């Protein structure tokens, strides 16, 4: 099944995790990889990653998560 990987990273930790996940999942099923974008909505499976800011995910990831309906979502979080 197709999937997208969307992430927000300030200093590279979440980007590194997202890249690792990209490398272990089938490349031909990947429809989008990168920062928040409407392109990531074209699949039912999403890996969504964020750094932790004030105890929660980044504002752009929070806004993105609010848009999701009937999606299978796997959350990735990096914290200090
Ligand atoms: C402004 C700022 C706020 C942060 N707030 C938290 C926090 O509330 N809780 C936490 O566990 N880590 C916090 N951290 C640590 C980061 O979430 C952590 O270093 C994370 O690995 C960074 O991921 P990134 O490299 O993808 O940006 C904060 C870091 C910064 C720069």
The Cα–Cα gap between 59 and 35 comes to: 12
Q: How far is the CA of 53 from the centre of ligand 1 (A)?
A: 5
Residue 50 parent element (H or E): strand 45-51
Residue nearest to atom 4 of ligand 1 (CA): 53
For residue 14, which phi and psi values (nearest 5 degrees)?
-70, -35
Q: How far is the CA of 1 from the centre of ligand 1 (A)?
A: 32
Q: How far is the CA of 47 from the centre of ligand 1 (A)?
A: 19
Q: How far is the CA of 52 from the centre of ligand 1 (A)?
A: 4
3-state secondary structure of 6: strand
Number of separate domains in the chain: 1
Q: Give residue 75's pLDDT.
A: 97
List the structure tokens of 80: 């200090």
Give the other-Cβ count within 10 Å of 2's Cβ: 13
pLDDT in tens, 28-74: 999 999 999 999 999 999 999 999 999 999 999 999 999 999 999 99
Q: Residue 17's domain spans which residues?
A: 10-25+40-51+60-80
Q: Give residue 63's pLDDT.
A: 98
What predicted TM-score, i.e. pTM, was given to this entire model? 0.95
Q: Give residue 28's pLDDT.
A: 97
How are strands ordered across the β-sheet holding 72-78? 30-34, 3-8, 45-51, 72-78
Q: Give residue 78's pLDDT.
A: 96
Is residue 75 assigned to a domain?
yes
Q: Give residue 44's pLDDT.
A: 92
Mutation test of ligand 1: which of 5, 15, 51 has the most ligand atoms closer than 8 Å to its C-beta?
A: 51
Is residue 45 assigned to a domain?
yes
Question: What band does 79 get if pLDDT is binned at 50, 70 and 90?
Answer: very high
């Amino acid at each position: 099944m197709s999937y997208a990987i969307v992430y927000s990273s300030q200093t590279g930790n979440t980007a590194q995790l997202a890249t690792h996940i990209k490398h272990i999942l089938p490349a031909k099923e990947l429809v989008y990889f990168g920062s928040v974008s409407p392109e990531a909505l074209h699949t039912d499976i999403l890996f969504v990653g964020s750094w932790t800011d004030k105890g929660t995910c980044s504002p752009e990831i929070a806004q993105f998560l609010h848009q999701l309906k009937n999606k299978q979502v796997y959350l990735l979080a990096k914290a200090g």
